[in-house]
């Protein structure tokens, strides 16, 4: 492969074609760091609104370090993977105490911080501080697999290590633009779903997958995942315009978030009435509202939803109106689906 020509091509293409994004306006390491954490598992267009709201409320590392967790989770509501938000705060606190409020400038230092892995450390170090280190995410793995015609499974750690080693060897002086260029290609041209836009790709003359007609077969992604399925009965308990919510445990899935009362299993009406008795509630009306499904990385919830108007409130739950639920309490997407 003509790596010198390829790296030059990527950098020049990026400089001429990069999208205007709020975190690219200045190479502020705080803004880049927050955006990169948000962009994990989430598309750019979806992130923009969350990012704008988050930065408006928490414009500096100091603000992030001292924000209350409930407000933090409310700002993060809808992005999922909530430990990312908690790790942001934990890291901000560490940066305040150990680095005087300034984000570390090297890949090695960044990687030691909570929630910052090799990719995020590489992105911040290269984009903001010019360190010649790669930032390898799914987009980069896809571009490199097609470019080199690799049949290796990109979900394997060894494959990622090999791509990282190769990129480290060929990294140009414009490391940040090179890394962002690879990511931008993967997001806008060498796309994952559907046919890539090979006719406008700056790497089309170098690409082995294009030459062999294998762009739809590559990259190889072989999952070895057995996802557990759970049935849950979810209750919308209402009383005079208020609805019952409760806080989840501080450990485990969706820890510390708010949810509608729910139990494992698919309950019948007789069992629902028995459960209401244990909650010291009496249902005035019980209406089945349908079913919802939500998929996490290792578990799939099948939710059977009932709306129940109760005769009196129960202090075991927190009873809130719609405005309070919207503004104050962070509720994960699984229960937002039920709410809608």
- Among 67-71, 108-112, 146-150, 219-223, the range scoring the smallest mean pLDDT is 219-223
Burial (CB count <10 Å: 0-12, 13-18, 19+), residue 90: middle
Is residue 96 within 8 Å of residue 65, measured between CB atoms?
yes
Assess whether 275 and 319 both reside in one domain.
yes
pLDDT confidence band for 203 (50 / 70 / 90): very high
Task: Read off φ and ψ for residue 229, nearest 5 degrees.
Answer: -110, 135
Is 219 among the domain residues? Answer: no
- Among 40-54, 87-101, 180-194, the range scoring the smallest mean pLDDT is 40-54
Dist CA 130 CA 105 (whole Å):
9
Beta bridge partners, 300, equal: 229, 295
Is residue 256 within 8 Å of residue 73, measured between CB atoms?
yes
Dist CA 127 CA 241 (whole Å):
50
> Look-up: residue for tokens 């060498």?
190
Catalytic residue among 26, 36, 184, 222: 36
Is 140 among the domain residues? Answer: yes
Assess whether 257 and 202 both reside in one domain.
no
From 312, 311, 303, select the one nearest 339 (Cα to Cα): 303
pLDDT at 225: 58
Assess whether 233 and 112 both reside in one domain.
no
Is residue 114 within 8 Å of residue 87, measured between CB atoms?
yes
Report whether pLDDT(151) > 90. yes
Is 288 among the domain residues? Answer: yes
Asked which of 152, 187, 212 is the last residue of a domain, the reply is: 212
pLDDT at 296: 87
Residues 6+ apart with CB under 8 A from 134: 122, 126, 140, 163, 164, 167, 168, 171, 179
Assess whether 288 and 168 both reside in one domain.
no
Dist CA 124 CA 119 (whole Å):
9
Is 221 among the domain residues? Answer: no
pLDDT at 43: 84
The 10s digit of each residue's pLDDT in 213-270 is 999 999 998 876 568 899 999 999 999 899 999 999 888 888 889 999 999 999 998 8
36 in catalytic set:
yes
Count up the domains in the chain and report the number.
2
Angle between helices 175-188 and 3-17 (to 10 degrees): 70
Pairing state between β 228-239 and 299-310: parallel
| 279 half-sphere exposure, CB direction, 13 A CA radius | 25
Assess whether 41 and 182 both reside in one domain.
yes
Is 220 among the domain residues? Answer: no
Dist CA 303 CA 243 (whole Å):
18
Dist CA 220 CA 201 (whole Å):
21
CA distances from 80 to 75, 129, 138 (A): 11, 29, 18
pLDDT confidence band for 29 (50 / 70 / 90): very high
Assess whether 157 and 306 both reside in one domain.
no
Assess whether 67 and 146 both reside in one domain.
yes
Assess whether 38 and 179 both reside in one domain.
yes
Average pLDDT over residues 133-157: 96
Assess whether 176 and 232 both reside in one domain.
no
The 10s digit of each residue's pLDDT in 289-340 is 999 999 887 899 999 999 999 987 778 899 999 899 988 999 999 999 998 7
Is residue 134 within 8 Å of residue 122, measured between CB atoms?
yes
Dist CA 174 CA 156 (whole Å):
28
Is residue 136 within 8 Å of residue 145, measured between CB atoms?
no
Residue 119 is part of which domain span? 3-212
- Among 107-121, 159-173, 223-237, the range scoring the smallest mean pLDDT is 223-237
CATH code: domain of residue 265? 3.90.79.10
Residues 6+ apart with CB under 8 A from 239: 309, 310, 311, 312, 313, 319
E strand map for the chain:
228-239, 242-247, 258-259, 262-264, 283-295, 299-310, 318-320
Beta bridge partners, 319, equal: 244
CATH code: domain of residue 130? 1.10.340.30
Assess whether 169 and 287 both reside in one domain.
no
Assess whether 258 and 318 both reside in one domain.
yes
Is 276 among the domain residues? Answer: yes
Assess whether 142 and 252 both reside in one domain.
no
Is 41 among the domain residues? Answer: yes
The 10s digit of each residue's pLDDT in 320-333 is 998 999 889 999 99
Dist CA 263 CA 234 (whole Å):
7
């Amino acid at each position: 492969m003509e790596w010198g020509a390829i790296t030059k091509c990527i950098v020049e293409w990026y400089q001429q074609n990069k999208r205007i994004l709020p975190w690219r306006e200045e190479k502020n390491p705080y803004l880049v760091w927050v955006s990169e954490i948000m962009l994990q598992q989430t598309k750019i267009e979806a992130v923009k609104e969350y990012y704008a709201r988050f930065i408006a409320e928490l414009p500096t590392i100091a603000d992030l370090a001292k924000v209350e967790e409930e407000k933090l989770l409310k700002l993060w509501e809808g992005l999922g993977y909530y430990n990312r938000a908690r790790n942001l705060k934990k890291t901000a606190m560490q940066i305040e105490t150990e680095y005087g409020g300034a984000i570390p400038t090297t890949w090695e230092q960044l990687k030691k911080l909570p929630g910052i892995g090799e990719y995020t450390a590489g992105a911040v170090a290269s984009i903001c501080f010019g360190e010649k280190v790669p930032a390898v995410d799914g987009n980069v793995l896809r571009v490199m697999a097609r470019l080199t015609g690799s049949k290796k499974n990109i979900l394997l750690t060894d494959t990622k290590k090999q791509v990282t080693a190769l990129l480290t060897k060929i990294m140009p002086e414009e490391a940040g633009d090179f890394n962002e260029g690879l990511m931008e290609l993967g997001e806008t041209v060498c796309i994952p779903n559907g046919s890539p836009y090979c006719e406008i790709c700056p790497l089309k003359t170098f690409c082995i997958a294009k030459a062999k007609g294998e762009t739809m077969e590559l990259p190889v992604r072989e999952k070895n995942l057995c996802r557990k399925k759970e049935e849950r009965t979810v209750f919308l308990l209402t009383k005079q315009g208020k609805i019952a919510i409760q806080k989840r445990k501080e450990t485990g899935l969706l820890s510390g978030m708010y949810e509608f009362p729910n139990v494992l299993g698919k309950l019948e009406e007789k069992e629902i009435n028995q459960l209401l008795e244990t909650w010291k509630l009496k249902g005035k009306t019980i209406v089945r509202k349908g079913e919802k499904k939500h998929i996490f990385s290792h578990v799939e919830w099948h939710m059977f939803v009932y709306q129940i108007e109760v005769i009196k409130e129960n202090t075991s739950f927190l009873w809130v109106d719609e405005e309070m639920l919207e503004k104050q309490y962070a509720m994960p997407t699984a229960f937002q689906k039920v709410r809608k």
